[in-house]
Structures are given as C-alpha cells and as structure tokens.
Amino acid sequence: MERVYNFSAGPAMLPLEVLEKAQKELVTYQSSGMSVMEMSHRSKDYEAIINKTEATLREIMDIPDNYEVLFLQGGASLQFSMIPQNLMTKNKKIDVIDTGSWSAKAIVEARKFGEVNVVASSKKDTYSYIPEYKDSDFDKDADYVYICSNNTIYGTKFTDIPDTGDIPLIADMSSMILSEEIDVSKYGIIFAGAQKNMGPAGVTVVIIREDLIGHAPEGTPSMLDYKIHADTKSMFNTPPTYTIYMLGLVFDWIKEQGGIKEIERINKEKAGILYDYLDKSNMFKGTTAVKDRSLMNVTFVTGDAELDALFIKEAGEKGFVNLKGHRSVGGMRASIYNAMPIEGVKKLVEFMTEFEKRNA
C-alpha cells in the first residue's frame, strides 16, 4: 500500500528519508555487525550514536554551552512532575499561563508541590487564543514561570514569549520544537516529548540551564533528579537507545534541509496555504484567533458535526488520515509537523475545495 498523508497530532509522520535510512541500517548498523536495538548502551558504537545525536541537536538549535541536554523517559507528562519536584523548592510557588489541557495537566501536578498562580487563562473561551498578560504580572518570588509554547489540541502558539527577567522561564515545546528558530538562552528549561516533531515515542528531550540542576530536595527518587541524569550523561539507567538513534537521523535530516531557519520558512508556507484557504472558505472555519495561530496544529470546523464527520471519512478514503480533532474539542485538526511535505498540505486543500463545492 502507498503511504498516506498522516495528519496525526502524535505519534506523527516521520520524514521518508529517515525511515529508509533506518530500514537500511536496521539489521546491521555500520561495522558493528548488529542492530542498534541489540547494542549495549555502554558500547563504543552506541556512545558515538548518542554523542552525535546530542551534538547535532546542539548545532541545529544553537544551544549555549551552559545548558545540558538530557534524554529522559516518562514522556513530556513526567516533566509536569519532575520540574516542580526539582525546582519548586525555594519559595514553593510558581506562575503559569494556562493555554489549555497541556498546561492544565502541568498545573495539577505542580499543585502537589506548592502554590500555583494562574496569571492568565483563556479557558472561558475554550482556549481559542493566548490570553493577555503583562510581564509585570509575574511574581518576583516565583520559583519559575511556566508556559506551553504551542497547544497541540487547540492549535494556538505563543508568538512573543514572556520576558520574566531573572525568573526562569520553563516551556513545554513538545509540539513545536525544531519547527521555528528560538533563542534557547531565554529559557531555564525547554522540554519536549519526541513523538510530535523529533522521532518515535519513548524519549523526552530536556534542555536545562546548568544553574537549575542540583536543587532536588533530599529524598527525591534518583530517576526524578536532573542532577543524577546530568552527571551520568543520560545513562543512569538504560536509555531508550533506538529512539535516540532515530532522533539523530531526524536531526541530520533537518540539517540537510538547511537547518531550522529553512524548516521555519517551509512551515510558514505550509501553514499559510491552509489558513489562507480557511479564511476564504464558506464552509470551513479556523477555530483560533488569527494572531495566535499555530504553525503545527491547524484546527477548523464546518459548524455542522455531521458534515465534519463526512469530511473526515471521505478525506480518510483519499489518503488524508487522522484529521479528526482532539476528543475534547471535536471538529478537525491537521497536524503539519516538519515531516509533512508541502504537497501533503496542497493536496489536502485541493480536496477541501472539491468537498466544499460538492457539499455547498
């Protein structure tokens, strides 16, 4: 069967070139005589793989030397707990901007460690925009300020990020990492689950400023302590070896495309094609505020649940799959991560145009 255009929010599409490279190396990796899956994580061959993966990520994201890159498990969701466990330790209070389920889940976990102040929220309008806030709203004594840079479910993203001064800014970038250029030095911690824009599920990348390591209180389980993972170079226990290898291939692919600058240009073009159509269409409507539109997750509706269902069904039959919106919001969502080729978006818009004509 031919490959489909997979608009899944995650696990999501991977670049075909990456899958083919992995296929070629699947049974025997270079001169090792074995699959990467069969290698000891302490072997020379594997050490070279993980080191190169980290080095390439540092290069494409331009990560400053005073940041550690960790490859952890437990998904982005474990970071909702691990961050407060390690950092809600001084004044035991934090500030959060609530932009939907993913920040809401982080709030639930952080409340187990202290006081969580929701500085701004767009909950009353089903999170269809990034709420207004002023940099002066942040509490100078907050242990950190927390945001979710791109809300995968509602399709919103921060275009400008808060200026929190000396308060560390922590960002969940699971659904937008590597999609556009960012200045790592503005953040205390950036974290992202792999399965949206970096590779298969199973690893979470944590980019953490050195001074934020080593604050876990006594009694913290070793697996939840950033210092232990940093000191052991993500090898405290067996890391998800094959997933990390796959990340390395994706990072190489990004470099081959011309780096994140070029990826960002393509992503803007891709999202632009879809949003331009939504703005013109009499049937389909974007659901988020124009100023806060995500480049990665494009959410839209027809306004008629039956028509939505018919569209999703017919699109699926044509090879445009996983267009159903998140179960909490309904409608449609086209996730167009880095690996979605521009033709996929163009062909989807062609199909939408045809569907609109036929059902007008």
Ligand X SMILES: *Cc1c(COP(=O)(O)O)cnc(C)c1O
Question: Min. distance of Cβ 152 from ligand X in angstroms?
Answer: 3
Nearest-angstrom CA–CA distance, 307 and 312: 9
3-class secondary structure, 112: coil
Q: Minimum Å distance from CB 204 to ligand X? A: 6
Q: Is 172 a catalytic residue?
A: yes
**Of 179 and 302, which has the nearer Cβ to ligand X?**
179
Task: Give the residue, chosen from 68, 98, 172, 308, that forms a contact with ligand X under the rule CB under 6 A.
Answer: 172
Phi then psi dihedrals of residue 18, to 5 deg: -70, -45
| H or E stretch covering 208 | strand 204-209
The yes or no reply on residue 73 touching ligand X (CB under 6 A) is no
Q: How many residues bind ligand X (CB under 6 A)?
A: 12
Identify the DSSP state of 141.
T
Site for ligand X in 138-157 (CB under 6 A): 148, 152
For residue 86, give both structure tokens: 């390690």
Question: Interaction with ligand X in 264-303: which residues (CB under 6 A)?
Answer: none
Tracing tokens 């670049």 back to the chain, one arrives at 15
Q: Does 338 bind ligand X (CB under 6 A)?
A: no
**First and final CA of the chain: distance in angstroms?**
32
Contact between 333 and ligand X by CB under 6 A: the answer reads no
Catalytic residue among 95, 98, 172, 292: 172
Annotated active-site residue 137? The verdict is no
User: Quick one: tokens of 204?
Assistant: 């979470």
DSSP calls for 243-306: HHHHHHHHHHHHHHHTHHHHHHHHHHHHHHHHHHHHHH-SS-EE-S-GGGB-SSEEEEE-S-HH
- Residues 192-221 binding ligand X (CB under 6 A) are 193, 196
Q: In angstroms, what is the minimal distance from the CB of 297 to ligand X? A: 8
Identify which of residues 10 and 239 has a Cβ nearer to ligand X in the complex. Answer: 10
102 binds ligand X per the rule CB under 6 A: yes
Active site residue 141: no
Contacting positions for ligand X (CB under 6 A): 10, 75-77, 102, 148, 152, 172, 174-175, 193, 196
